[in-house]
Amino acid sequence: MREKTRCPQALIPFQGHTANLAKMALISFEDLAELDDEQLDDEVPENSQPADEEEEERLLAHWQAVGRTHQVTVPREMTGPIMEMTRRNEEVEQVPFVTISTHEKLGEVIYEERVYPPGKWACVTVGEKLYEQSISMGFMKLMRFICKENSAGRYLGMTVPVVNGIKILEDGRGFESEVLTALYLPAEFQASPPQSADPDITIVHRDSVRVITRVFFGTTTEETISRQISLLWELLGTSGDIHQDQYMVAVYENPGVPSRRNEIWFICRNP
């Protein structure tokens, strides 16, 4: 085990039913990275006029196509938030954490132990028929909250990773349908969080949490997540210090990336 220097304000590099479900991924601001350069204007000033109707239609059509892969309908009223997050897709704040230890094998990191500080999170729980539907619909709600549907009346900003909380059914044979999607509020709003216009979104103060985390690459389905849970348990062995009925999945990269980076988080009982 190689101990890491404790650095409370360290930032991470850029960047949740059945086993035969279709390929799943978050509908997120990062999907915009799939668009061609000519579709986006990275230099849109703060006071610029709205994009023309053709650009709006093009972006909405792109998100609707992504939504169909998740069996989710992206309504036309999402056009505004989509446009706003397109303009600001470079403005991303990282969630702070402290690395406690790094465990390696043959020079390769196999898992880490981290502590995430207490803070305010915007949380929404959605329970649709399919796992990917719950997460996609939850994040669309968070998008609207971020993009001015809040008591501050302004764009709040994005943080990464977006964290999905999952619970295991009592029989251990799958995930509960209700999935939590949580967004860490930017540092500017930690002391005085704006409230959401959507009653489904709550601002929650979450205590410090200690996690065992392992990176994995590719798609995030119930099948792949379950496989990663089993793999990490094999590496750790039996431990009464870790919850066995709830886990978190952190998503760091664009779903269009063929081998995108994700993490499975085991939650320790004592922070």
> Does the pLDDT value for residue 271 go beyond 80?
no
Cα atoms in the 13 Å half-sphere on the side-chain side of 208: 9
Instruction: Report helix, strand or coil for 104.
Output: strand
Cα atoms in the 13 Å half-sphere on the side-chain side of 202: 6
CA-closest candidate to residue 60, choices 41, 42, 77: 77
Q: Which pLDDT does position 16 carry in this prediction?
A: 34
Task: Give me the residue spans of the domains in the chain.
Answer: 93-268
Query: How does strand 92-94 pair with strand 158-160?
Result: parallel
Alpha-carbon separation of residue 231 from 195, 220, 226, 249 (angstroms):
39, 15, 9, 14
What values do phi and psi take at 54, rounded to 5? -65, -45
Please give the residue that has the higher pLDDT: either 121 or 78.
121
Cα(134)–Cα(180) distance, integer angstroms: 8
Residue with tokens 């779903």: 255
Assess if CATH 3.20.80.10 describes domain 93-268: yes
Please give the residue that has the higher pLDDT: either 36 or 136.
136
> Does the pLDDT value for residue 25 go beyond 70?
no
CA-closest candidate to residue 72, choices 3, 143, 22, 5: 22
Cα(83)–Cα(147) distance, integer angstroms: 10
Cα(142)–Cα(135) distance, integer angstroms: 11
Residues 6 or more apart whose Cβ sits within 8 Å of residue 192:
none
Using a 10 angstrom Cβ sphere, with 0-12 exposed, 13-18 middle and 19 or more buried, the burial of residue 85 is buried
Q: Which pLDDT does position 18 carry in this prediction?
A: 36
Q: How confident is the model at residue 223 (pLDDT cuts 50, 70, 90)?
A: confident
> Does the pLDDT value for residue 146 go beyond 50?
yes
Counted residue by residue, the chain has a size of: 271
User: Tens of pLDDT along 62-114?
Assistant: 888 878 877 889 999 999 988 888 888 778 899 999 999 999 988 899 999 99
Residues 6 or more apart whose Cβ sits within 8 Å of residue 139:
26, 27, 28, 162, 181
Please give the residue that has the higher pLDDT: either 48 or 11.
48
